[in-house]
Amino acid sequence: MSAATEKVHQIEDYQQKEDDMGQDFAAGVGETAQKDMGKVAIIISFMAVVLLVVFFYGLNQNLTNLTSEVKDLQGVRGEVAALNSQMDVVDGRLVELEKLPTKTRHIIMDGIIEEMNQKAAYVGAQLGEEEQAKLAQVQELLKDVQSGLQK
């Protein structure tokens, strides 16, 4: 029986060993978790820095593109101003062209009145003094009308 007594152990010994092992295991897990959490924090910090760098360069590129577009728009504004001044010139010419039929009509009338003056002078040379005086009045009236057309 001595061999049997050696194999028999008290339950309290096992319970005490299990408690000691559980505490050692829990302490080991706690230390491992703290080390792992430190590694996770470092990785997350590194990833945050990488993301910040990527966002910075992306925004910097966008700002560079935006600056170049603003410069292009300033050039376009100058071109638009030049086009507006050219449109003003064209509008002025259109107004002159609209007046052209009136001017043309005045030129034609001026020619007709001049022709009438010449005919009256010819007829006046063929008539007597009384009729010449009347034709001279007609010529004066024609000259007044002619000067009114030239204005």
**Residue 17 binned pLDDT confidence (cut-offs 50, 70, 90):** low
Q: Which long-range contacts (CB under 8 A, 24 or more apart) does 100-107 make?
A: 106/149, 106/150
Distance between CA atoms of residues 146 and 110, nearest Å: 6
pLDDT at 88 over 60: yes
* pLDDT value at residue 10: 65
* pLDDT value at residue 61: 93
**Residue 46 binned pLDDT confidence (cut-offs 50, 70, 90):** very high
Mean pLDDT, rounded, for 53-73: 92
Q: List Cα–Cα distances, 4 to 12, 13, 17, 58, in angstroms.
A: 18, 17, 22, 79
The 3-state secondary structure of 14-31 reads HHHHHHHHHHHHHHHHHH
Distance between CA atoms of residues 47 and 34, nearest Å: 20
Helix-helix angle 129-150:11-126, to 10 degrees: 170
**Residue 135 binned pLDDT confidence (cut-offs 50, 70, 90):** confident
* pLDDT value at residue 58: 93
Question: Which amino acid would we find at residue 72?
Answer: D
Summary count for the chain: helices (H), strands (E): 3, 0
Tokens 């966008």 correspond to 62
Do 89 and 108 contact (CB within 8 A), yes or no?
no
* pLDDT value at residue 72: 87
Mean pLDDT, rounded, for 107-135: 84
Q: Mean pLDDT across the chain, nearest whole number?
A: 80
- Residue from 111, 110, 132 nearest 121 by CA: 132
136 CB-near residues (< 8 Å, 6+ apart): 124
